[in-house]
Amino acid sequence: MKTQDLFQDYEFPKTNIQEILLTLILHGHVSIFDYAYLSGFRTRISELKLKYGINLNRKTETRCNKFSNEYRYSIHFLPESEKEKAIQLYNKLNKN
């Protein structure tokens, strides 16, 4: 698969926040499991909401770890009404 196919003609992301934003645009949702390697995932989600004004819906899910202890995490959804705003923000961030 070519890189261009993977990003569906969007410019290649240059920062973590751009990568998360592009995932939201292309897939409609994102969670910590998509970016387990990224220690600042929750900070990037907060920046998208507070600094850039992107409204995200959140759904809390529950899983069990290997010791059968339950834990909760959030799945963040990009509403269809916010998609155009997110695309404009992505293009603006990618130009800088």
> Which pTM value belongs to this model?
0.87
Of all residues in the chain, the percent with pLDDT exceeding 90 is 84
Among candidate residues 55, 59, 61, the one with its CA nearest the CA of residue 83 = 55
Q: How far from 50 is each of 39, 40, 47, 75, 84, CA to CA, in Å?
A: 19, 15, 5, 17, 18
On the 0-12 / 13-18 / 19+ scale of CB atoms within 10 A, 22 is: buried
> pLDDT value at position 9?
78
> Helix axis angle, 83-95 relative to 16-27, nearest 10°?
150
Q: Is the pLDDT of residue 38 over 70?
A: yes
CATH topology for the 9-95 domain: Arc Repressor Mutant, subunit A (1.10.10)
Confidence label for 46 from pLDDT (cuts 50, 70 and 90): very high
- Only one residue has tokens 């410019």, namely 11
